[in-house]
A and B are shown apart, each in its own frame.
Chain A
Amino acid sequence: MATSVFDRRLNFSFSSSTQSPPPAEGFMPGVSESRFIKNTSEDALNNRELLEFGVLDGETKKMNLFQSINDAMRITLATDETAVIFGEDVAFGGVFRCTLGLTEIFGRDRVFNTPLTEQGIVGFAIGMASMGHTAIAEIQFADYIYPAFDQIVNEAAKYRYRSGGIFNVGGLLIRAPCSAVGHGGHYHSQSPEGYFAHTPGIKIVIPRSPLQAKGLLLASIRDRNPIIFLEPKILYRAAVEYVPMGDYELPLGKAEILKSGKDVTVVGYGSQIYVLENAIRMAEKKISGLSCELIDLRTILPWDVDTVVKSVNKTGRLVIAHEAPQTSGFAAEIATTITENCFLRLESPIQRVCGWDTPFPLVFEKFYVPDVIRCFDAIKEVIEF
């Protein structure tokens, strides 16, 4: 049994000392200044998607991403007797503190450590879910989800279909920290959503902020389909916003227009949203009169085709950005669908700004990721075409 709160492959440790090295999840400058972060309680509650949940009169609390995820899981454990959370080191709070304090409240039979076996963790979760229980499995890093690929793709995704609908694993949710952190190298930086987006039967959700994460996670846990919930780990501490304290959900399969505009549609998800926000700011400053529309996809599978199609039919131009490598990345799927639906409205070729087709490189990270300049340049390209 694992007994360490440290990731086994790297010393992803935390220290409260002021002399401490940078946090495991890195720094993401710019998040705190984002216009999409809810910096006041009023701001947080000014959200039509929350209307039906009765949280608009309730309290809010300033939380970072790991705290809001923790809050969603606390609500789940308190409201669903069958719910359990498990994974490597989760009983101690997990490498990123997402399960902190839950063992103390709910006991070791509901929040527990597993051996280091990802296929075992997911298989175990499928078994629990097949008995009608709610199983929240944590894979310590998305980079380590691949031993469980067979269980996810061949088992969880097909459980309902292959049984003719008599069995299902709707109560299954797999959480995994994903994406770049500044120093994660090959195995602490990956964004594997593309692999799983090719798998009918599962849903994939990637939140961009604490408020979003809580609502999307609660909706994902309660959705009657197996879900992979990828958490951009660079946001765990960097993203802080006011989050409603109550129990609320945000819709799956629904994108959100964060900023409306008339000339270019820009699509992203997760931490990439903040990069795109800055790239748009830069472009709008440098190109006079330019107005860009920014869409956060939120759910990768099934994705909100309508919202993006509507937007591109208005703007005629599309830029898509994600950290995962370009070839067969999810941007390819978006580009094809938009070409099919908006061909006559397109003013320029769709631009993809993605990781290069290389493994995620430690020291070259700055050159690898679709950063502000590359995204800015792509916006410029579609305008100047």
Chain B
Amino acid sequence: MVFACRNLWSRKTSLNILNRKITRFCQFTTKTITEEKVKFPGVKESYFTDKMQFIQSVNPIPTYRVMDRQGKVLDPAQEPQVSKEFALKIYKDMITLNIFDLILYEAQRQGRISFYMTNYGEEAYIGSAAGLDSQDVIFGQYREAGVLLYRGFTLDEFMNQCYSNEKDSGKGRQMPVHYGSKKLNFQTISSPLATQIPQASGAAYALKRAGNKNCVMCYFGEGAASEGDFHAALNLAATMRYGIASRGIGYGIDSIRVDGNDVWAVYNVTKAARQLAVEENRPVLIEAMSYRISHHSTSDDSSAYRSKEEVENWMRFDNPIVRLRRWLEDKNWWNGQEEKSFRAFIRKEILTSFSKAEKLQKPSITDLFNDVYDRPTPNIIIQREKLKKLIEKYPNNYPLKNFKNEGEDL
């Protein structure tokens, strides 16, 4: 399985603290008489020393990139050999995601949907979707709409979920951006942080047992890596063989740090990680360094903990979309005219989908009671009857005209 952690803050100080936590141990010394090896259980490679030394950090972990901020390839050998069509698909998805976010964020601000989370600044993670097989199973955190988009989740499907309408495959039960798709192998998003990480370990084990040559890709943010479930999952994955990079190393997991704003670096690394996971049954941890331009969600104001200037600098000087655009333009695969017309086109598409979703009814009120179990249990059947009687008794207090079937099927 592959863990993809997006380190959204990329502050050296915090990483140093992490390193210290992992590697701080003390080596007491005995006078070495022979070249005796350390044989305590669990010790991989160690030697006895007569020098007492507290260790604070491992060597700095390099950050892999293919392109610089201007989209110039650093080493031609690292440039992926991709078709124009393939590169443009990624680029168009990045722009679509960006415009989609813009419109839905505004919709939330106008009170038309209850909540939203944008992907600003992190759009290059679409490179990881491109590096996977479409049958690989995704366990996401909540900021992976681009992966779904890349796999073919339609604008209508996104909209219907955000509007909790009758066509929402989640039946209107979860807040916006909690997408899921069986056919696209994308497990439904849940709000609690990091719970998906040990689940991804289990799903990977299921694939391995079934002899399936696919991997599980698990996404989570830097914050989730503080939760106990993150450690539980790495521990499980490491001991059963299938980190944030420094933490991954602490668990003996192949780990790599990558420039998360460089779509080709993310793509290359994901492909290579996938190969390790599928062919050698090894867990791999990818730490993709990026910067969340947006607030955490529509319920957050990030100016309370970071300066506006810092955010603007990231947006201006290290924009993953601009970087790919420059790369495309250098290849003469894209130009300003195409940019303009595509943006206009996709904006129109999104708005069409938007107003369509807004007009649909809410799901049937019976969906309140379905799917708690495979079949409704006696207590649920009784409670559904009670609600039905209550609505009949107080029809004015429970208007149903916005709900599919208007309560007829309750």
**Which A residues form the contact surface with B (CB < 8 A)?**
1, 82, 84, 109, 112, 114-115, 117, 119-120, 122-133, 135, 147, 150-151, 154-155, 158-168, 170, 200-201, 203, 224-225, 253, 302, 305-306
Chain B 160-189, CB-CB to A under 8 Å as 1, else 0, gives 000000001111011000101110000110
Closest CB in chain B relative to A237 CB, distance in Å: 31
Selected contact of A131 from candidates B171, B203, B374, CB within 8 Å: B203
Chain B 362-387, CB-CB to A under 8 Å as 1, else 0, gives 00000100111110011110000000
**A/B interface sample: 8 pairs, CB < 8 A:** A1-B239, A114-B240, A117-B232, A124-B236, A127-B200, A128-B205, A164-B169, A164-B180
Q: Does B399 contact A (CB under 8 A)?
A: no
Q: Does B139 contact A (CB under 8 A)?
A: yes
Q: Does B209 contact A (CB under 8 A)?
A: yes
What separation, in Å, do the CA atoms of A132 and B202 have in the docked complex? 11
Interface locus among B65-73, B95-103, B190-198, B283-291: B190-198
Closest CB in chain B relative to A232 CB, distance in Å: 24
Contact in complex: B188, A123 (CB < 8 Å): no
On whether A131 and B137 interact (CB within 8 A), knowing A123-B232, A224-B374, A302-B379, the answer reads: yes
On whether A161 and B202 interact (CB within 8 A), knowing A114-B236, A155-B190, the answer reads: no
Contact in complex: A154, B190 (CB < 8 Å): yes
Selected contact of A151 from candidates B137, B195, B231, B239, CB within 8 Å: B195
On whether A147 and B228 interact (CB within 8 A), knowing A127-B139, A155-B195, A165-B171, the answer reads: yes
Q: Does B229 contact A (CB under 8 A)?
A: yes
Closest CB in chain B relative to A129 CB, distance in Å: 8
Contact in complex: B201, A124 (CB < 8 Å): yes
15 new A-B contacts at CB < 8 Å, known A124-B198, A302-B378: A109-B209, A115-B236, A119-B198, A120-B236, A123-B195, A126-B199, A127-B200, A131-B210, A162-B173, A162-B178, A163-B180, A164-B173, A201-B373, A203-B373, A302-B377
Chain B 4-31, CB-CB to A under 8 Å as 1, else 0, gives 0000000000000000000000000000
On whether A166 and B209 interact (CB within 8 A), knowing A120-B198, A126-B202, the answer reads: no
Selected contact of B195 from candidates A128, A133, A150, A163, CB within 8 Å: A150
Contact in complex: A164, B199 (CB < 8 Å): no
On whether A117 and B205 interact (CB within 8 A), knowing A155-B199, A166-B182, the answer reads: no
**Which B residues form the contact surface with A (CB < 8 A)?**
137, 139, 168-171, 173-174, 178, 180-182, 187-188, 190, 192, 195, 197-207, 209-210, 216, 228-229, 231-233, 235-236, 239-240, 367, 370-374, 377-380
Contact in complex: A166, B188 (CB < 8 Å): yes
- The 6 A-B pairs at the shortest CB distance, nearest first, are namely A127-B202, A123-B198, A120-B232, A127-B199, A124-B202, A163-B188
Kindly report which residue of chain A lies nearest to residue B236, judged by CB atoms.
Answer: A120
B199 CB contacts on chain A under 8 angstroms: 123-124, 126-127, 130, 155
B206 CB contacts on chain A under 8 angstroms: 82, 127-128, 131-133
What separation, in Å, do the CA atoms of A160 and B371 have in the docked complex? 6
Closest CB in chain B relative to A298 CB, distance in Å: 15
